[in-house]
Each structure stands twice: as structure tokens, then as C-alpha cells.
Amino acid sequence: MASTENPDPETGKSEPIPASATPPPSSAASFLDCRKIDIITRVLLFSATLTALIVMVTSDQTEMTQLPGVSSPAPVSAEFNDSPAFIYFVVALVVASFYALISTLVSISLLLKPEFTAQFSIYLASLDMVMLGILASATGTAGGVAYIALKGNEEVGWNKICNVYDKFCRYIATSLALSLFASLLLLVLSIWSALSKRT
């Protein structure tokens, strides 16, 4: 590494300043770029999970349905809390959007205080992976049940319901798509943090 001369005022002897003391401009710039990409990805994660959550909780639909043993049709509503799988999905989205908000703020503060990056990025990387596991499993759970609502299952006599509650099913499908996108963002963040400390 090239070093520059630095004549000592008392002895006059020149002491070489190691180049590593002055950070090369390129690594400071790439650090900033990394942080910005991280922040943008986390903001995207927050918007995707929050939107998926709002769509889920506003998905309920009421239809006049002819119930067995009842003479006239009665209003029957379909809501996310009719199914434990959808309840698990909504809870996972609440946790994920809250985590996305907090991690965005942490990432912004690391931009302002780079000296804390080494410690905090370990926690962020680990929590990204935990959130990936939770959101992927919750998306799978809701997806499995939503598929039955869409197609039914003749083998076991479970009828489809999306032919009646079309809005309910459209909202759930939208929320599942957003949640799948959020899971992919978490996967990118996890792999990104694993790579960023090795290259």
C-alpha cells in the first residue's frame, strides 16, 4: 500500500502515514450505496406487508345464502377470522410490518452512525432470516386454505366458496401475492447480508 510522507516537526525525520488510515473514497461510497439499497428494500418490505395486512382485514363479504333447514335465504358473511390459517397469516403480517418499520429505522441510523454497523448488521441479518421463516410459513398456510376455498376438494367433500364470495377470495389472493413478494424481499435481504461481509 502506497503511503505518503509526514515530516516530524521536532526530529525532522519523515514518518510514513499508512494509506489505510485515510479510507479510500471507493469503499466509503460503496458502503453508502449498500446502506441505501438496504433502506430502500426495507421500505418496500414495510409497504408490501402493511398493504397485505390492510387488504386482509378488509376482505370480509356478506352474501344472502340459502342455509339447509331455513326457509328463506339469510345473510352469511365470510371474514378472515373464520379460519385459523388466515388468523395466523394476519398475525404474521402484523409482526412482519412492525419488524420492517423498526429495521428500516435501524438501517437509516446505521447510515448516520456507520461505526455501529458491524454489531447491528449481525442482528439484522439473523432477524431477517427468522422473519423469512415466519412469513414464508404463514403465506403457505393461508395459501393452502385459500386454494381449497378456490377449488374445493371432492375427495373429502370440502366445497369451494369462491364462487359465492368472489370479493373475499380476490382480496385474499392479492394479500397472498403481496406477502409472497415480501418473503422474497426478506430472502434477498438475508442473502445480501450474508454476501456483504464476505466480498
Q: Which is nearer to a second copy, 75 or 157 (CB)?
A: 157
Q: Which is nearer to a second copy, 4 or 159 (CB)?
A: 159
CB of 40 to a second copy, least distance (A): 20
Distances (CA, A) of 78 to 19, 60, 65, 83: 67, 5, 11, 10
Q: Which is nearer to a second copy, 9 or 69 (CB)?
A: 69
Distance between CA atoms of residues 129 and 41, nearest Å: 15
Q: Which is nearer to a second copy, 36 or 151 (CB)?
A: 151
CB of 130 to a second copy, least distance (A): 7
CB of 16 to a second copy, least distance (A): 18
Question: How many alpha carbons fall within 13 Å on the CB side of residue 175?
Answer: 30
* Residues ≥6 apart with Cβ < 8 Å to 45: 96, 100, 103, 104, 182, 185, 186, 189
Q: Which is nearer to a second copy, 59 or 139 (CB)?
A: 139
Distance between CA atoms of residues 139 and 168, nearest Å: 17
Identify the CA nearest to 172 among candidates 79, 76, 77, 46.
79
Q: For the chain, where are the alpha helices, taking DSSP H only?
A: 25-57, 84-112, 117-151, 166-196
CB of 107 to a second copy, least distance (A): 16
Distance between CA atoms of residues 74 and 77, nearest Å: 10
- Residue 76 DSSP SS3: strand
- Residue 20 DSSP SS3: helix
Residues that bind a second copy (CB under 8 A): 78, 82-85, 88, 118, 121-122, 125-126, 129-130, 132-134, 136-145, 147-149, 151, 153, 155-159, 161, 183, 187, 190-191, 193-195, 197-198
CB of 63 to a second copy, least distance (A): 12
CB of 163 to a second copy, least distance (A): 12
Q: Which is nearer to a second copy, 50 or 146 (CB)?
A: 146
